[in-house]
Amino acid sequence: MTASSILKPIIAAPSSTLPFLFILMWSSGYVVGKLALPYAGPFTLLFLRFALAALVLLAIALLTRAPWPTGWKPAAHLVVVGLLMQALQFSSLYTGLKLGVSAGVSALIVGTMPLFTALGASVLLHERVNGRQWLGLAAGLGGVALVVADRIGGATLAGLGAVSLALVGITLSTLYQKKYCSNADLRTGGCIQLTVAGIVALPLALWFEGFEVRWGMELLLASGWLSVVNSIGAVSLLFLMMRTGEASKVASLFYLVPGTTALMGFAVLGETPGAMTLAGFMVTAGAVYVCTRQRRIRCTGR
C-alpha cells in the first residue's frame, strides 16, 4: 500500500482537479470552524480537531501496517512540521482573533504566505522564480487585499503579532515539509504531527478556557469535518502536491482561499460578498493562473 492510499479516491481523479479540491477543502475549514466556535473555545476546538484526526490516522496506520519513521531524525522533522503547520499556525491565528483582529485582517496577513514561500523557496530550496511568477504573486497579494479591504477594522498590536506568527508557521512549515519530509508516509507522518499539535493545544484549552464544551450534534459534525476533511484530507493533499510541484507554485494556490471562503460564507452563513470581494476573487484567480501555468501541478501519488 502506498503512502497516498488514504486519499486513493481523490488521487484517482484527474491531476488537474486536485488543486481545486484542495482549495475547497482548505477553505471549508474557516466556515465550519465559525459554525463550531459557539460550542467550544478556540483551543478546545483545536484539541478536539487534532485529537480526533490523530486517532483516525493511527487506526488507518495500524490497519494498513504503514511504515513508521526509522530513527530519531525523520521523526524529529515530522514533529517540527506538526509544531509549525498545526500548532503554531492555528493557535496563533485563533489567539489573534480572540485579541480583536478581524477575520479580514487575519486573512490578509496569512494570505501573503505565497510571497514569503516563493522568496524562501528561491533562497533555501534553490527553486527558480521568474519575473512573471513574481508579478503573479504580487498581483495575488493585491487581489487578497481587495477581498478583505471592506472588512479591515481596528486591531491590537498583540493581536496583529499573533496572526503574524500564524503566517510564520504556515510559511516555514511549507518550506520545511518540502525540504525534509517530502517522502514521509502520510498516515504515520500525519499521526505524529497531529499528536504533537494536540499536546500543545490541550494545556492551552485547559488554562484559558477550562475545556468548556457544549456537546451536541452540531459540534460533533463540525469536529468530524475539521478533523477528517481539513486536518487529514486538505493537509495531505497539500503535502502530496508539495512532493511533485515547486513550493512557490503550490503555495500560490492559497491566494484563492479568501475568495473561495467568502463564497462559502455567502452560501452557508448568509454573508453577502461585496463588489470588492468579487473583484478580488477574479484578480486572485488570474494571478494563480499566471503563477502555475508554466508547469501544471501534478499529484499522481507514489
pLDDT in tens, 258-277: 778 778 888 887 777 677 77
pLDDT in tens, 188-218: 999 999 999 999 999 999 999 999 999 999 9
Name residues whose C-beta falls within 8 Å of residue 109's C-beta, 6 or more positions apart in sequence.
Answer: 160, 163, 164, 166, 167
Report the distance separating Cα 162 and Cα 89, nearest Å: 9
253 against 206, higher pLDDT: 206
User: And the C-alpha cell for 297?
Assistant: 501541478
Report the distance separating Cα 170 and Cα 85, nearest Å: 5
In order of 109, 137, 194, 287, the CA distances from 236 in angstroms are 23, 24, 12, 24
Residue 99: inside a domain: yes
Write out the residue range of the structural domain in which residue 72 sits: 5-292
Residue 302: inside a domain: no
User: And the C-alpha cell for 136?
Assistant: 503573479
Residue 297: inside a domain: no
Residue type, 133: Q
CA–centroid distance for 291 within its chain: 19
Report the distance separating Cα 294 and Cα 299, nearest Å: 16
Single out the residue of 29, 7, 21 nearest to residue 297, CA to CA.
Answer: 21
Contact indicator for 290, 136 with CB cutoff of 8 Å: yes
19 against 15, higher pLDDT: 19
CA–centroid distance for 278 within its chain: 22
Report the distance separating Cα 77 and Cα 73, nearest Å: 6
Mean pLDDT of 153-157: 65
Beta bridge mates, 213: 40
Residue 40: inside a domain: yes
pTM above 0.75, yes or no: yes
Residue 139: inside a domain: yes
Domains of the chain: total? 1
Residue 127: inside a domain: yes
Residue 179: inside a domain: yes
User: And the C-alpha cell for 265?
Assistant: 460564507
Residue 301: inside a domain: no
- Mean pLDDT taken over the chain: 80
Q: Is the pLDDT of residue 81 over 50?
A: yes
Q: Is the pLDDT of residue 120 over 90?
A: no
In order of 55, 71, 292, the CA distances from 76 in angstroms are 20, 9, 32
Report the distance separating Cα 86 and Cα 80, nearest Å: 10
Confidence of residue 2 (pLDDT cuts 50, 70, 90): very low
300 against 211, higher pLDDT: 211
